Amino acid sequence: MNIEISLDLPETVQLTRVELKMMLLYSLFEKGILSSGQAAKVAGVPRRLFLEDASKYGVSIFQYDAEEIEKELSEWQ
């Protein structure tokens, strides 16, 4: 599927098309809509690089919800 989006951003926003694309891909990954492999493929980068760069976009590669974290912690105690 190919989607084209047009945005009228203020001139003070200094982002390239690639940066916007990566922001969208990391957002979709963070929300669980895309896997890291799928997002990396769309970005045209190796999965490892996609995961390594996640923190640059404020995204954790650890996709746990509160319930899963509590379960993990209780298993360690």
pLDDT per residue, tens digit, the chain (77 aa), is: 888 888 888 999 999 989 999 999 999 999 999 999 999 999 999 999 999 999 999 998 876 667 777 777 788 87
How high is the pLDDT of residue 50?
Answer: 95
How high is the pLDDT of residue 2?
Answer: 85
Total of domains in the chain = 1
- Tell me, yes or no, whether 10 lies in a domain: no
How high is the pLDDT of residue 39?
Answer: 96
In Å, how far from its chain's centre is CA 14?
20
DSSP assignment of 6-66 equals: -----TT----HHHHHHHHHHHHHHTTSS-HHHHHHHHTS-HHHHHHTGGGGT--S----H
How high is the pLDDT of residue 53?
Answer: 94
Is the Cβ–Cβ distance between 50 and 36 less than 8 Å? Answer: yes
- Tell me, yes or no, whether 35 lies in a domain: yes
How high is the pLDDT of residue 64?
Answer: 67
Q: Can you say whether residue 10 is alpha, beta or left, with left for phi > 0 and alpha for psi between -120 and 50 degrees?
A: beta
- Tell me, yes or no, whether 26 lies in a domain: yes
How high is the pLDDT of residue 73?
Answer: 79
User: Token pair 């974290």 is at which residue?
Assistant: 69
Task: Find the domain containing 40 and state its range.
Answer: 17-76
- Tell me, yes or no, whether 31 lies in a domain: yes
